[in-house]
Amino acid sequence: MWKKIVLLILFQLSAFASQDFTAQQVIDYHEGTCNQVEDLESHIAAGFFDGIQKILDVGCGDGQVTARLAKLFPKVTFVGCDISQAMIDFAAKKYPPSEYPNLTFIVKDACHLNDHETFDRIISFSALHWISDQSRALSSIYNALKPQGKALIRTTPKSSNNDFKAVSLKVILSFRWVSHFLNFKSSSSFHSERDYRKILTGIGFTIDHMEQKNRQLVFANRSELMPFLKAILTPLWHLPASKHNDFLEDYYHQLIKHGNQDEKGEIRIHFDKIELLLSKPKVE
């Protein structure tokens, strides 16, 4: 039985616009993130996934989380949706119905799910901050939930505690790279706990739990780190392939200057995540 669930950590910096992935970017993403795990054991033990019929994963990406949950709960129907056609194509091929009969993948915009009281549970990991209008996406999630349904959301909040963002901005604003990023605009958004409380209660959600924590990823050495950076650093997607290695080298050296390598040579990267556990009230 799986005891760890892969968390797909997509970091969208405020300087960039989101775009669809190429097939190669999806492969790089899958290979670079598959060793980074997030413990959902407490929610599994608390029965979040028990006694229900249908779950939607919003922003499922390459389908790793959705597929592993589908294996854990074979009597539950899982639907993974993502706005990226390339991600959905990869997920559908990687996790086919012959091996995952309770799992399907579809292309959908989180802001326009167009489902009315369909799902018992909705999950979304590291996807919401890619969306410019999170209020619309959260309203769409609310509408898709059945009364008394629950949502579990983890995303990147408005915070200064993000080594990925801090180091990326230092590299991007350097003389060598700044000219490559002058014309990009953001379609991402970041909110504080106070922002989320106002948005969620305004929509109608009951907030069962909200917690912002600083998280840490640890890489044994440079060789372990680089495939991960190649997978998740969005600046690379806006550069020609011929410049990727140079950017990665500069990023690595800036991480070291930033103080992210300890005396053992391990590289530790810190960033904040916020978890939202939400309920849709029963209709009286």
pLDDT in tens, 52-63: 999 999 999 999
Mean pLDDT of 150-171: 91
H-assigned helices in 34-180 = 41-45, 64-72, 85-94, 134-144, 163-172
Task: Parse the chain into domains and list their residue ranges.
Answer: 5-161+185-231+271-279
**At 187, is the pLDDT very low, low, confident or very high (cuts 50, 70, 90)?**
low
Q: Tabulate helix, strand, coil % of the chain (nearest 5).
A: 40, 25, 35
Sign of CA dihedral 85, 90, 92, 93: positive
User: Which of these ranges, 33-42, 177-186, 206-215, 244-253, has the smallest mean pLDDT?
Assistant: 33-42
Mean pLDDT of 164-179: 92
Q: Do 275 and 153 touch, CB atoms closer than 8 A?
A: yes
- Residue-level pLDDT at 5: 34
- Could you tell me which CATH class the domain 5-161+185-231+271-279 is placed in? alpha beta
H-assigned helices in the chain = 23-33, 41-45, 64-72, 85-94, 134-144, 163-172, 193-203, 222-232, 244-257
pLDDT in tens, 119-128: 999 999 989 9
**At 35, is the pLDDT very low, low, confident or very high (cuts 50, 70, 90)?**
low
Residue 120 CA to residue 140 CA, distance in Å, equals 14
Quick check: 202 pLDDT over 70? yes
Percentage of residues in the chain having pLDDT higher than 70: 89
Residue 261 CA to residue 263 CA, distance in Å, equals 7
